[in-house]
Amino acid sequence: MSTSPADSVSIDDEKDATGPSFADLGIDDRVLRAIADVGYESPSPIQAATIPPLIAGSDVVGLAQTGTGKTAAFAIPVLMGLEVSGKSPRALVLAPTRELAIQVAEAFERYSTHMPELHVLPIYGGQNYAVQLSGLRRGAQVVVGTPGRVIDHLERGTLDLTQLQYLVLDEADEMLKMGFQDDVERILRDTPDTKQVALFSATMPSAIRKISKQYLKNPVEITVKTKTSTNINITQRYVQVSYQRKLDALTRILEVESFEAIIIFVRTKQATEELAEKLRARGYSAAAINGDIVQAQRERTIGQLKSGALDILVATDVAARGLDVERISHVVNYDIPHDTESYVHRIGRTGRAGRSGEALLFVAPRERRLLDAIERATRQPLTEMQLPSVDDVNAQRVAKFGDNITENLSAANLGLFRKLIEDYEREHNIPLVDIAAALAIGSYDGDKFFMEPDPEPVERPRREKGERGRNTFEGDRPRREGPSTHRATGENMATYRIAVGKRHKVAPGAIVGAIANEGGLRRSDFGHISIRPDHSLVELPADLSSETLDALRRTRISGQLIQLQLDSGPPGMRPMNRGPRRDTRDGKPRYERRQPRA
Ligand code: AMP
């Protein structure tokens, strides 16, 4: 961290293992305990930079997006410094929307659980005045409001700001965009000169600069400088999903995506444990690592991940620092990271040792701006991914069922069971197919074999102001072909067949990596990739030169010659999209699986 003479702080992009802890920031015990209850392990960059100057009494201007942890960055020092005796507001937070006001009020509640005498009140347009009036009469030391409604109360004489110690402007640029500039300036003017002001904004237009110059006293300016280089061998996708649907979304992805090992990032220690537990309950070999886990246990868990005894690791940023496991084919950002730098560190856990990797980012509707920031900072667009539908998941289950049979047909002790079943058939005179179905029931729960279509009504995705429409995964609905960085399917493209598939544990990233390297192709040369049980189909330019074709025939993935050749699917059908068919190339019936959408 460096402080220039102009009181401006920028946070360096090297966030190594030795960042400050919350205690290092000088936070008092009551608030520290609340933070521990919530499960935050270490301060986010904006928190580390903002909390100390706010505790020291300085005004602060923070350039920060939603999702960076800025709420705690101002709530923590405010809670530490405000006078809780008395009923009149000591802290006022202005927020552009009612949703944000409620959210900020809830955050204050969370961080003040060990301050029972403290009351927090959200006031916003659209809510009954009577509720707000009785809240104000009862007394609230922290008021979080939208500017218009705060002005209403000031004019009615129902809000007394004469005792104000702290004024926070949250998402100041949004407030100005929404036409609240006069209201905001009026509140800045009509509150005590002695108050401390914190202004947070995602951008710094000249109007905000002006406000900062006019109303703040020598503010410390805080900007998070971001590390911007992401590894080019990592394919980055994002999926819009509401908070409530994340687990469902994750399990669908795990069902259809072909992966070797995955690391899933969440924000808190509790979340690592909870998610790992839920994944184990769904049959995955998953474990949690977080800052509370002792070193020996951490090493054991990582050893298991390396050896293949474990496939999924659920981790916090701190716990996953420096993790270097070649098997990690996917990084899932289950909770969006606070800053682009963390994003870059996280996705760098895959694509190790020259391999390629897949990075998935879950984006809740409110977090769109953080996604934009990630794309801007890394200068790489993320491809939107449509979540696998119930049909995709079920097709995959059928495919795996078939795979299982095919695999077991080559088992060494088939003879023993053949004899037992022949005896049973003779004794009971039951058709063989019924006996086979009865055995399958023993290994699968017939009632739950297929995923049920989602019964919930389809919510409309919320759109943020001025944002182009995008699909949010809120339930099962017809799929839209998402905007894609791929070349348009079919446009001078052809489907090639390669001799590696699910059986060889290949991930799409490995296929792209190997073919791109050996064939001198670019990422944009790839269309759909469909990984089938024993082979894969890859869309590539139709006009590959004979040298490239030669090189690709000799390329190996997972030690296997890929023998790339044009795929000769049935005429008139695109091989990628046909439903289950019987493939008798090797004389055995095979199910084809529907491809996970790449
Ligand atoms: P905000 O940017 O304030 O909207 O915060 C975004 C999310 O980050 C919220 O869900 C917070 O609960 C969470 N959060 C804030 N600070 C931390 C932290 N230090 N560690 C983990 N999560 C945090």
Q: Read off the pLDDT of residues 124-157 as tens digits, 9 standing for 90 and up.
A: 887 788 888 999 999 999 999 999 999 999 999 9
- Cβ atoms of residues 88 and 163 within 8 Å: yes
Least confident of 177-186, 400-409, 417-426, 524-533: 524-533
**pTM value surpassing 0.85:** no
574 CA to centre of ligand 1 in angstroms? 46
Ligand 1: nearest atom to the Cα of 41: 20
Mean pLDDT, range 100-117, rounded to an integer: 93
Judge if the beta carbon of residue 74 lies within 6 A of ligand 1. Answer: no
Residue 16 has pLDDT above 50, yes or no: no
Nearest-CA residue for atom 4 of ligand 1: 67
Give the per-residue pLDDT at 338: 81
- Cβ atoms of residues 588 and 516 within 8 Å: no
Q: Where do the domains of the chain lie, and which CATH numbers do they carry?
A: 8-224 (3.40.50.300), 234-388 (3.40.50.300), 391-406+414-443 (no CATH), 488-566 (3.30.70.330)
**Which residue of 44, 106, 343 sits with most ligand 1 atoms within 8 Å of its CB, as the best mutation to test the pocket?**
44
**Which residue of 24, 38, 40, 342 sits with most ligand 1 atoms within 8 Å of its CB, as the best mutation to test the pocket?**
40
Mean predicted lDDT score pLDDT of the chain = 81
Mean pLDDT, range 246-260, rounded to an integer: 92
φ and ψ at residue 44, rounded to 5 degrees: -75, 165
Q: Which residue type does 382 have?
A: L
Judge if the beta carbon of residue 267 lies within 6 A of ligand 1. Answer: yes
Residue 41 has pLDDT above 90, yes or no: no
Give the per-residue pLDDT at 527: 81
Give the per-residue pLDDT at 222: 93
Strand partners, 359: 236, 331
Q: Read off the pLDDT of residues 215-234 as tens digits, 9 standing for 90 and up.
A: 999 999 998 655 455 566 78
Q: Read off the pLDDT of residues 509-526 as tens digits, 9 standing for 90 and up.
A: 778 877 877 777 777 788
Give the per-residue pLDDT at 451: 85
Ligand 1: nearest atom to the Cα of 366: 4
Residue 31's pLDDT band (boundaries 50, 70, 90)?
very high
Least confident of 220-224, 423-427, 545-549: 545-549
Ligand 1: nearest atom to the Cα of 316: 21
- Cβ atoms of residues 237 and 378 within 8 Å: no
327 CA to centre of ligand 1 in angstroms? 30
Give me the sheet containing 493-498, strands edge to edge: 529-531, 536-541, 493-498, 565-566
Q: How many angstroms separate the CA atoms of 191 and 186, rounded?
A: 9
Give the per-residue pLDDT at 232: 61
500: CB partners within 8 A, 6+ apart: 506, 511, 535, 536, 557, 558, 560, 562
Percent of the chain with pLDDT over 90: 43
φ and ψ at residue 332, rounded to 5 degrees: -110, 120
Give the per-residue pLDDT at 354: 61
Q: Read off the pLDDT of residues 288-323 as tens digits, 9 standing for 90 and up.
A: 999 888 878 888 999 999 999 999 999 998 888 778
CB atoms closer than 10 angstroms to residue 484: 17
Judge if the beta carbon of residue 369 lies within 6 A of ligand 1. Answer: no
Q: How many angstroms separate the CA atoms of 164 and 195, rounded?
A: 6
Give the per-residue pLDDT at 353: 64
Q: How many angstroms separate the CA atoms of 362 and 275, rounded?
A: 15
Best CA proximity match to 510, nearest among 353, 373, 390, 374: 353
CB atoms closer than 10 angstroms to residue 249: 20
DSSP 78-122: HHHHS--SSSS-SEEEE-SSHHHHHHHHHHHHHHTTT-TT--EEE
Judge if the beta carbon of residue 47 lies within 6 A of ligand 1. Answer: yes
